[in-house]
Amino acid sequence: MKKIFVPLLIVTTAMFAYAPVMIANAPYESTMGLVQKIFYFHVPSWFAMFTAVFLCGIESAIFLFRKKPSADRLAVAAGEVAVLFGLMGLVTGPLWGRKSWGIWWPWDARVTMALLVELTFVGYLLVRKFAGPGSDKLAAAMAIFGMFNVPFVYMSVNIWRTIHPKTSVVPTLPGGMPGPFWFCVAAFLSLCALLITARLHLENQRAALDALYLDEE
Amino acid sequence: MIRSLLSTALVFFGLAVSVFAQPPQQNEFVPIDKLPPSDQLPSAPLLITAYVFVWIATLVYLWTIWRRLAKVEADVRGLEQRRAAATRR
């Protein structure tokens, strides 16, 4: 674990230390001004959340169909990290929206679906913790269900009329904005990998402890 | 004497009128295109709150992992010591 963790920690810390400099040097958006700079943390946090959700869903499918306990451990780690990044997105979004749209929470298709995905993974963690024997399989099914919601969240702004910007905004970012944005995306993905590595180590240690208890019996 | 009392009362009355006077009643709303700067919601506190939240959430989560890991590792060590003591006997 230390082999990956320490280099990841150094890279992530360096990236997060430099990110504010890049964001400060990025140009202001014409209608939103300063508050638009939340974009450089808000959207990357969703990138990281969706990455963790896909990892959790795929590993859950491997656990369900191939019965690999190591896949389940990785799924739990990714599921918990997905909830963290989802929370970041759900907190930074309203802070941006309050200034840009005049409301904290618009209840449009995008934010409502994003909230549902977040709640699905909160449910995943609650089922794992409190549902007793067999909860790992039930939670794995929930994770797969949650993963299939992600494309709908992404496409929701194009399908339904919402006040969220369309998905065409990111590919067409004007000069000066793509550099800081993709740098922040890389920083968040690096942070996501770092947290999943740390959380997986915890899960592996728990599995080792369970094995020791079983040996003793 | 009476004149000075009257003038004092007049001054107090004048002050009371000016202090408790109501603002002119509004008959209609007048729209404007742009809010005056004093009424605009400032961006900086929202931006700083967003960034600080991301940092705090990350650090708190790392701390919870570290705490849970320390507990599990202490349990593993305790169990291994117990097993080693049992095999020595």
Write out chain A residues lying below 8 Å of B50, CB-based.
38, 41-42, 91-92, 95-96
- Tell whether B75 is within 8 A of chain A (Cβ): yes
Q: Kindly report the pTM of this predicted structure.
A: 0.84
CA distance B75 to chain A (A): 7
Q: Provide the pLDDT for residue A1.
A: 66
Write out chain B residues lying below 8 Å of A35, CB-based.
43, 46-47
Q: How far apart are CA A139 and CA A144, in angstroms?
A: 9
Asked if pLDDT for residue A175 goes beyond 90, the answer is: no
pLDDT (tens digit per residue) in A176-217: 899 999 999 999 999 999 999 999 999 999 998 988 888 777
* Long-range CB contacts (within 8 A, 24+) of B69-72: B69/A198, B69/A201, B69/A202, B69/A205, B72/A202, B72/A205, B72/A206, B72/A209
Hey, are the CB atoms on B43 and A35 less than 8 Å from each other?
yes
Q: Provide the pLDDT for residue A86.
A: 97
How buried is residue B18: exposed, middle or buried, by Cβ count under 10 Å (0-12/13-18/19+)?
exposed
Q: Is the ipTM of this complex over 0.85?
A: yes
Average pLDDT, chain A: 92
Q: Report CA-CA distances (Å) from B9 to A46, B3, B4, B19, B70.
A: 70, 10, 9, 15, 79
Q: Provide the pLDDT for residue B24.
A: 66
Q: Which residues of A106-126 are buried (b: 16+ CB within 10 A; e: fewer)?
A: bebbbbebbbebbebbebbbe
Residues β-bridged to residue A33: A29
Tens-level pLDDT at each residue, chain B (89 residues): 677 777 788 777 777 766 666 666 666 767 667 766 666 778 888 889 999 999 999 999 999 999 999 999 999 888 888 888 887 77
Q: Provide the pLDDT for residue B41.
A: 76
pLDDT (tens digit per residue) in A82-131: 999 999 999 999 999 998 888 999 998 999 999 999 999 999 999 999 98
Closest to B51 (Cβ–Cβ): which among A41, A199, A212? A41
